[in-house]
Amino acid sequence: MMKIIDVTLDMTPGMPVWPGQENVTLERHQKIEDGAHANVSFFGASVHTGTHVDAPFHFLPDGDTVEKLPLDVLVGAVQVVQVPSNAIVINREVIESLRIEPIVERILFKTTNSDFWRRPEDPFNQHFIGVDESGAQALVEKKMKLVGIDYLSVSPFKKSQPTHDVLLGAGVIIIEGLNLANVSVGKYMLYCLPLKLKGADGAPARVILVEG
């Protein structure tokens, strides 16, 4: 029997955002109770808020923008792997220790970061686990096409560029801000559909995993 698991964060005011970015705005501008014929809301946020996809243009001046990302990479078989709880960074050594199947082209890292989403009202936590440059290079060597992680950046805090440059430069699609707290390790079908924002360096996405 097919089971659908939504691994997308709720987009809501007060949710943690990357330091320096605007908070999420979501408010009704027209209200039925005030006499309007329909409820109409306004939404505003950085394209790198919540569960989102990074396009190459995010770090590469000549990189593709989000509407050009290949859908056949954003949809397909994926492996969820558990990073050891004592890991402080996902480096080459950690990646080589994981049981990544040789035919896998998409990988989602479940880490202790996912525990943060059990308290979604908490502020941004800079002590999240990310992939360092050596880990990114290892993923490229394994011919990964898509990499996802369970916090707001695939790279460690204040060490964004090396990891992003390696992954995006190799054409790897990055999904950030996944909630994998209730996801078991294993193989799934991934469906990730970012908003088609023409010319944008990223976009919020609805991401689901299908089991069975």
Contact between residue 192 and residue 53 where contact means Cβ atoms under 8 Å apart = yes
Per-residue b/e over 31-58, b at no fewer than 16 CB within 10 Å? eeeeeeeeeeeeeebbbbbbbbbbbbbb
- Helix (H) and strand (E) counts in the chain: 4, 10
**CB proximity list for 23: less than 8 A, separation 6 or greater:** 13, 14, 17, 45
Judged against a pLDDT cut of 90, whether residue 195 lies above it is answered with yes
Model confidence band, residue 10 (pLDDT cutoffs 50, 70, 90): very high
Each residue's pLDDT tens digit, 47-86? 999 999 999 999 999 999 999 999 999 999 999 999 999 9
- Quick one: which of 15, 5, 14 has its CA closest to 151? 15
Each residue's pLDDT tens digit, 18-34? 999 999 999 999 999 99
| Side-chain-facing half-sphere of 50: CA atoms under 13 Å | 25
First to last CA, the chain: 6
142-157: average pLDDT: 98
Domain 3-9+47-211 -> CATH class? alpha beta
Task: Tell me the CA distances in angstroms from 105 to 87, 119, 189, one per residue in order.
Answer: 23, 31, 12
> Cα–Cα distance between 21 and 63 in angstroms, integer?
22
pLDDT confidence of residue 3: 96
Amino acid at 100: I
- Residue 131 is classified by DSSP as B
Q: What are phi and psi of 137, to 5 degrees?
A: -65, -40
pTM across the whole model: 0.96
Domain range annotation of the chain: 3-9+47-211
- Quick one: which of 75, 95, 74, 73 has its CA closest to 83? 95
Catalytic positions, please?
Answer: 58
